[in-house]
Chain A
């Protein structure tokens, strides 16, 4: 579905007001996403996860240096094709809830998303209502403004906006942040459902625990580089199926796992050696 080949991204950085340096945010990053799978991209904050999403959608700020290739359904994905497919084939569920317009009612915003995806205007209103119903947002929530929604409801509205576009590749940027376990479950299950319909989902998160139950593959990211891509079943036991020490350490650092002093120290040593 989507192949990212050796993608590098540099953004300008002003060390002083006359001197411009380039900060490397993505470093020869490669990734392949198949149809019908949830591919989790996991990394600490600042690892370049959101920038990866923006690079795929061509939403980066203008003075950016981008190298490498993107392929979508076998064909190169360049800026003009990105602009053409945005909203129709590619959808982004943004990280920030401030992406919802505070001055517009929920259903109207979802309708706009449907219109932007190229649906006929006669159908868009109906489609938006269906999408919102699908995510269990009742009539009151549909007519509410963004500040009247809870965090979980706002997330589901954002998901509905991606859903209504009928995009084949959905990028979800930190969809589970700040939600209680019940709401999180609901949002993540919605993503899994999209993948089960044959779409591809890239799930960007910093929390490995939340990604594992729904992901097919997990890519661990660190400082703009890919550390390792592993099937999610590799994250079990002592993490011996994982190839890199960083992924193993990340897995073992989870509270449910061998979060004991001895193991952590051992892994740290290994990481040091590696």
Chain B
């Protein structure tokens, strides 16, 4: 029972967030100049008479008020029907599921890599302020923190794919190969460069925040007391530093999920990687309203769940943080 109440509270909060996101994104769609009928017809637009258009509009319920339309959409959403994507000619839920499978490999490994490497670099740099290692790591972090993702991706493609030919230039598998024929090794080979680029950018902010927390700790009463007990810097960094620095690192790692998602849109575009990011761009360019709304909702869910996990992890690390509140 003690577990059920907080979980129910969290789920209720999550539902509330999703409803707000649905409302706002639906409102934005209504306010946008996108005409779903034009988008649906595509190039055949010229062959359709105004009477036929009116018929489609009536069939789709566009003659009703915006609130009623939103109600229809929400009811369908609750029953699990996200609509039909005319760009991919598939149900939206299927498009998202397929694309997300690809994206999660890219996002997940980049996220894990950036969190782990970023945290370790931050702890190493912060353990001794002003040391050579600290200077190297800080310089690296400052440079990559101020590098745009797509530019770094372009440079990486130029160097590793075009000039050196170590990695493929695009896609999740060789061109023309069927999905079933692609081996795991080939998949990883295609993932290598996008993951490295995406991770490289995520590392910087986690490194810098972890380093700052470490510097703070190394000047604190806790560290002075440990030094008075004869502890070495390594000892203090290992025993006290890891615990203290993991709180900001976890916050940042989970908060950066959204950012990483945004970054993956650019990276997938540059590497022509068929993930959710690419689908977002395609949906936006070709006015695929149901798919755009579906992706917006899905991203909100993804990021909210990430924050929820971070919230529960705090209480594990820092005993002063009590679970509870709204």
Residues of A within 8 A of B (CB): 57, 59, 83, 85-88, 90-92, 94, 96, 98-104, 112-113, 116-118, 145, 147-148, 161, 165
Contacts and interface: CB of A to CB of B under 8 A. Distances in A.
A183 B227 CA distance: 27
B228 A94 contact: yes
Contacts of B228: 57, 59, 86-87, 90-92, 94
Contacts, number: 70
A116 B229 contact: yes
15 contacts: A83-B230, A85-B230, A87-B228, A87-B231, A91-B229, A94-B221, A99-B224, A102-B318, A103-B317, A104-B239, A116-B226, A116-B229, A116-B235, A148-B319, A165-B230
A88 B320 CA distance: 32
Contacts of B319: 102-103, 145, 147-148
Given A59-B224, A59-B227, A90-B228, 14 more contacts: A86-B227, A91-B228, A91-B229, A99-B224, A99-B225, A100-B222, A101-B240, A101-B243, A102-B318, A112-B231, A118-B230, A145-B320, A161-B229, A165-B230
B243 to A, nearest CB: 4
Contacts of B240: 101, 103-104
B179 interface: no
A33 to B, nearest CB: 17
Given A92-B228, A116-B230, A98 B220 contact: yes
Contacts of B220: 98
Interface string B205-227: 00000000000000011101111
A145 B220 CA distance: 18
Interface in B49-94: none
Given A103-B243, A104-B243, A147-B319, A98 B230 contact: no
Contacts of B229: 86-87, 91, 112-113, 116-117, 161, 165
Nearest to A161: B229
Nearest to A92: B228
Contacts of B102: none
Contacts of B128: none
Nearest to A87: B230
B99 interface: no
B244 interface: yes
A9 B74 CA distance: 73
Of all A-B residue pairs in the complex, the 3 with the closest CB atoms, nearest first, are A87-B230, A99-B225, A87-B229
A117 B230 contact: yes
A85 B230 CA distance: 7
A88 B230 contact: yes
Nearest to B217: A101
A147 B320 contact: yes
A94 B224 contact: yes
B244 A103 contact: yes
A145 B321 CA distance: 12
B320 A94 contact: no
B243 A86 contact: no
Contacts of B225: 92, 94, 99-100
Nearest to B246: A103
Contacts of A85: 230
A148 B320 CA distance: 9
A99 B243 contact: no
